[in-house]
Chains A and B, each alone.
Chain A
Amino acid sequence: MTLLHWATISPFLLAIFIPLLYKYFRKIHTGWFVLILPLVLFIYYFNYLPVTRDGGTVTEHVPWVPSLGINFDLYVDGLSLLFALLITGIGVLVVLYSIYYLADKKEKLNNFYVYLLLFMGAMLGVVLSDNLIVLYVFWEATSISSALLISYWFHREKSVYGAQKSMFITVFGGLSMLGGFSLIYVMTGTFSIREIIANVDLVTASSLFIPAMLFVLLGAFTKSAQFPFHIWLPDAMEAPTPVSAYLHSATMVKAGIYLVARVTPIFGGGATWFWIITLAGLTTLIWGSVQAVRQKDLKSILAFSTVSQLGMIMSLLGAGSAAYYFNDGDNLLYTTAILAAVFHLINHATFKGSLFMAAGIVDHQTGTRDIRKLGGLMTFMPITATISLFGLAAMAGIPPLNGFLSKELFFTGMVQASQYGIFNLDTWGMFLPIIAWFASIFTFLYCAILFFKTFRGKFQLEKLNVNKVREAPFGMLISPIVLITLVIVFGLFPHILAYSIIEPAMQSILPGILSAGERFEVYITHWHGFNLELWMTIGVFLIGILLYRTMSKWSKFGFYQTEQDIFNYVYDQGYDGLIKGSQVITRAQITGRLRDYFVYMCVFMVLLIFYTMFKYDGFMLSTDNLSPVEPYMWLVLIAFVASIVAVPFINNRMTAIIVTGAAGYLVAIMFTIFRAPDLALTQLLIETVSVILFMLVFVHLPKLKKEKIKSSTKIVNLIVSISVGAMITLVSISAFAFGSETGFSSIREYFIENSKVLAGGYNIVNVILVDFRGLDTMLEILVLAIAALGVISFIKLRLKEGEDV
C-alpha cells in the first residue's frame, strides 16, 4: 500500500469515524471535519500535475487476488488526474456549501457525510483504477452511495422513488458492464487497462469485439444518463442540492464519460463505435434540451440541461474517436472534438456546479423552486442573481465566458466530423452540425427562461413559503462565487488549462496517435474569423431571443403545459409489470405448506443426482467387500424401520413426537455401533433439544386432524419418498463399490496421520472442524446465526391476518 493507495481510500477511512465525530462533537457542524479531507487530497493530487504535464504517468501496484489477475493497481495519467482534481476540488466546495445548506439541527448529518465520503472514495477509485474489476467494484459503490444520498430525506416518497429508479438503471448498466469486462478478459487474458491497450490487436480481431463494446457502453450510457436511460437523473433531484451539484452534475454522471474516454483506445477507430456514441450523444443532447424547456422546477431544468450537456460531451468523444481511423500522417487535425470534450467537461463542472448551488440558495431562501411562483428576486438576492447570470450565460455560450469557447469548439468538431468522408459521413454527416445547432437554440432558450423567470419579472411574495426574502448567508455564497470566478477566468485565459491539464488528458484518450516525445498543441481562441461556427452561434442567439420573446404565445400549447417524459411512463409500466409478474410466479409455488416445499427440494435433488449419475455412468451395484451385518444390528434396524413406518399411521400428536424421537435415538445407537462417538453425542443432543422444544410449544399446536388428502397427492408423496430413499441407497452403494474397485485410498488416512502432528489433537472430527476445515465451520456458524435471526424476525415481525407482501 503506497501513499497513493491510502489517499484513494482515505474517504472510506474517515467515513468510519464520522458517526463518532457527530455524536461527541454536537456543537461543531460535522461538515467542518469532512472539509479537511478533500482539501488535503486536492493538494496531494495537485502535486502529480508536474508529472502528467510532461506526459509522464505513475503506476502503483498492490496485489489483491493475483491468481485471478485482480490487483489493486492505481494509475495516474492526464485523464485520471483531471477527474481526481475535479472530484476533490468540487468536493471541497460542495462540503463547504453543505455546511450552510444543512444547517438545521435535525438533519442526520452522520448519514449524509458517511454517504458523501463513501461516494468520494468510490469515485476516486473509479478514475484511478487500472484494473477493470477494481474499477467495477468502485463503480457499483458510486451507484449505491448515490442512491443512498438521493433517499437522504427518506420519509419523502419521491426521494425513495428516485433512489430506487437510479439504482435500478445504473446497477443494470453496471452489471452489463461487468459482462463486457469479462468478455475483454476472455479476449486478452488480463484485466489491466494498460495491458489491454498494449494488446489491442487481440480485441479488434476477436468476434467478441462488438458484444463487449455494447456491454461496456450500456454501463457508460446508464451512468451518464444517455438517452433513453436519462430518466433517472431528473428524479435524482430529490437529493439535497449539494448532492445534486456534486454527484449529479459535476462528478458521478461523468463516470460514463470517463469510461468511454478510457476505453476509446480499445474500441475506437471503427464505424460502429463512432456512430453509436455520436448518435447516442446527439439524441441525448437534443432530447435533454427540449425537455429542459418544458420543466417548471429550477432543479428539473438543470437536471435535463445536465442530461443534454452530457450528451454533448459524449457525442464529441464519439466524433473524436475517428482520429484512430486516420492513424497515419497528419492526424492531429481530427482531434478537435476530443479537445472540445475535455474542455467542456471542465467548464460544465464549473458553471453547472455554481448553477445548482444558486438554485439551492433560491430554494433555501424562498421555500420553492417553481418558476411560476418565483420572479423579481434580483432586488432581494443580487449576489445569487449575478452568479446565476454568469453561469447561465456560460451555458448558453455567450462570449467571453468558458462555455462560449467550448461551444464554439463543439461546433467546429461537429462541422469537421461531417466532412471526414468516412463511415458514410458524406451521406449523413451534414446532420451532425444541424442537430448540434438545433439543440443549442433550446439550450439558449432554457437558460433565458431560467434567469428571467426567476430573477426578473413580478415579485410574488404571497406565493412563496416564507415571510421575507433575503440574500443567503455569506458562507453559502463562497462556493458558487469560487466556481463562477473560475468560469470567468477560464473564459478569459483558457491557456491556464490547456498546457497542464487538457493536453495530458487528450494524450491519455488518444495514446498511440502521437509519436514519442510529441505532444498535442492546443490553441483556444475567442476569434476564429468569419467562419461557419460564428454564423451558427449568431443564429443560435437570434433565434433563441426570438423564441423567448414569443414565449407567451407558445407556452399555451400542450407541449409546454405538460412536462412528463414519455420514457418515465415506459419505466413505470415496466416496473409494475415486473412486480406483478414476480407475484404471479411466487404465488404459484409458495403455497404456505412446508411439505410442498419439501417435495420441491426432494424432487429437485433426486432429479439432479439421478441425471448426473446416469450421464457419467456412475451406478455400480456391486455388493462385494461389504462387511457382514451382526444379529444385534438387525434388531436395531428392525426397530428403526418399524418406528419410521409407524409414523404416517399415527393420529395422536404426542405419540407421533415420541415415535419420531425413538427413530432419532436409534440412529444415535447406530452411530455408537459404528464407533462414531461425536456423531452419536450430537445426534442424542439434537434429539433431546428438539423433544424439549416440542414440549415447550406443545400447548400451541393444533389438534392433529385426520386430513382428507386426495389419493393422487398421496401417490405422488409416496413416489417422492421412495425415490429419495432409493436414490440415497444407490448412491451410497455405488460410492462404496467405486472406492473398493478402484482402490482409491480414503481421505481419512491423511487425517489419521496428520491430526496430531499438524493440529495437536487426537479427536479427528474436532480437528477437522476447527482446524483443517475451519473456514467451513466459520461459514456454518454464520449460517446458523442467520437462520436464528431469520426465525426471530419471521416470528416477531410476521404479517397480520390478511396482510400481503
Chain B
Amino acid sequence: MRKSPANNMMLQTAMRYITIIVFAFSFYLFFAGHNSPGGGFIGGLMTASAFLILYLAFDKKIMKKVIPFDFTILIGIGLLFGVGTGIASMLFDYPFLTQFFDYFHIPFFGEVELTTALSFDLGVYLVVVGAAMSIILVIAGDDE
C-alpha cells in the first residue's frame, strides 16, 4: 500500500466497477436492516470493505485526494447520531432512547415505513465504518 506498482491496471479498472456494486449493496443492506438481514453493523462493515479494496488497488496519495476527510471524524458523528436519537425522545418526555415508527405514503416509493431506529442505526453504521477504517489505516500506514 505504500508503493503503487505500475502493473496493477487490471485490478484498478476492475475495482472501479466492483466498488460501485459493493457500495450499492452495502447501502441496500443498511436500509433493509429493519425487515430483512442487514442493518447498521453489517452495512458498515460492507462499506468499510469497499473502501479497503479501493485502498488496496490505488495509492494512498490518490485515495487521500478522493476521500479528503479523516475517517476518525465519522466515529464522532456516529456517536452523536446514536446519543442524539436517545436524547430526542427525552425532549418529547419519553424515556431515553424510546424508538418510534410510522407508515407514510411517499410518491414514487409508495408506502414507506419510517423509524427513528434508522437514525440510530445510521449512528452504528458511521461508527463501524469510522472505527474499522481508522484502525486499519493506522496499522497499515505505520511505517516504523
Residues of A within 8 A of B (CB): 677-678, 681-682, 685-686, 688-689, 692-693, 695-697, 699-700, 759-763, 765-767, 769-771, 774-775, 777-778, 781-782, 784-785, 787-789, 791-792, 795-796
Contact = CB atoms under 8 A, between A and B. Distances in A.
Contacts of A700: 142
Contacts of A682: 41-42, 45
Contacts of B82: 777-778, 781
A700 B123 CA distance: 33
A788 B140 CA distance: 14
Interface in B81-126: 82-83, 86, 96-97, 99, 101, 113, 115, 117, 120-121, 123-124
Is chain A's interface secondary structure helix, strand, loop, or mixed overall? helix
Contact of A791 (B35, B36, B97, B139): B139
B38 to A, nearest CB: 7
Contacts of B56: 692, 695-696
Contacts of A778: 82-83, 86, 97, 120, 123
Nearest to B136: A693
Contact of B40 (A770, A785, A789): A770
B79 interface: yes
A-B complex: 9 closest residue pairs judged by Cβ atoms: A760-B101, A788-B131, A696-B140, A677-B37, A685-B45, A761-B34, A770-B117, A766-B39, A781-B127
Given A760-B113, A769-B39, A693 B120 contact: no
B140 A697 contact: yes
| From B39, B40, B41, B46, residue with most partner A Cβ within 10 Å | B41
Contacts of B41: 682, 769
Given A759-B101, A769-B39, A770-B121, 7 more contacts: A678-B39, A681-B29, A685-B42, A689-B136, A693-B139, A770-B117, A787-B135
A685 B49 contact: yes
Contacts, number: 150
A372 B97 CA distance: 65
Contact of A766 (B1, B38, B48): B38
Given A693-B140, A759-B117, A788-B75, A781 B48 contact: no
A692 B86 CA distance: 35
A686 B45 contact: yes
B42 A762 contact: no
| From B42, B72, B113, residue with most partner A Cβ within 10 Å | B42
B128 A784 contact: yes
Nearest to B39: A766
A223 to B, nearest CB: 34
A796 to B, nearest CB: 7
Contacts of A769: 39-41, 124
Chain B interface size, under 10 / 10 to 19 / 20 to 34 / 35 or more: 35 or more
Contacts of A678: 37-39, 42
Contacts of A775: 86, 96-97
Is chain B's interface secondary structure helix, strand, loop, or mixed overall? helix
B15 interface: no
Contacts of B127: 781, 784-785
Nearest to B127: A781
Nearest to B113: A760
A689 B49 CA distance: 6
Interface of B: 1-2, 29, 33-42, 45-46, 48-49, 52-53, 55-56, 72, 75-76, 78-79, 82-83, 86, 96-97, 99, 101, 113, 115, 117, 120-121, 123-124, 127-128, 130-132, 134-136, 138-140, 142
Contacts of A760: 34, 101, 113, 115
A743 B127 CA distance: 40
A781 B138 contact: no
Contacts of B132: 689
Nearest to A693: B136
A795 B134 CA distance: 12
Nearest to B32: A763
A761 B33 CA distance: 9
A696 B49 contact: no
Contact of A792 (B1, B33, B138): B138
B139 A759 contact: no
Contacts of A792: 72, 134-135, 138
B42 A781 contact: no
Contacts of B139: 693, 696-697, 791, 795
A781 B139 CA distance: 20
A692 B53 contact: yes
Contacts of A759: 99, 101, 115, 117
A665 B49 CA distance: 16
A770 B52 contact: no
A765 B117 CA distance: 13
A7 to B, nearest CB: 24
B45 A763 contact: no
Given A697-B139, A762-B36, A785-B79, A774 B42 contact: no
Nearest to A794: B138
A763 B31 CA distance: 12
Given A689-B52, A760-B115, A770-B99, A782 B79 contact: yes
29 contacts: A682-B42, A686-B45, A693-B52, A695-B56, A696-B56, A697-B139, A759-B115, A761-B35, A763-B33, A763-B35, A763-B38, A770-B121, A770-B124, A771-B117, A774-B86, A775-B96, A777-B124, A781-B78, A781-B124, A785-B75, A785-B76, A785-B78, A785-B130, A785-B131, A787-B131, A787-B135, A789-B72, A792-B72, A795-B142
Nearest to A781: B127
B78 to A, nearest CB: 7
Given A696-B140, A762-B35, A689 B131 contact: no
A696 B86 CA distance: 37
| From A761, A765, A791, residue with most partner B Cβ within 10 Å | A761
A405 B132 CA distance: 71
| From A774, A777, A789, residue with most partner B Cβ within 10 Å | A774
B3 to A, nearest CB: 9
A30 B6 CA distance: 59
B35 to A, nearest CB: 4
A303 B40 CA distance: 58
A170 to B, nearest CB: 32
A795 B138 contact: yes
A767 B36 CA distance: 10
Contacts of B2: 699
Contacts of B52: 689, 692-693, 696
B127 to A, nearest CB: 4
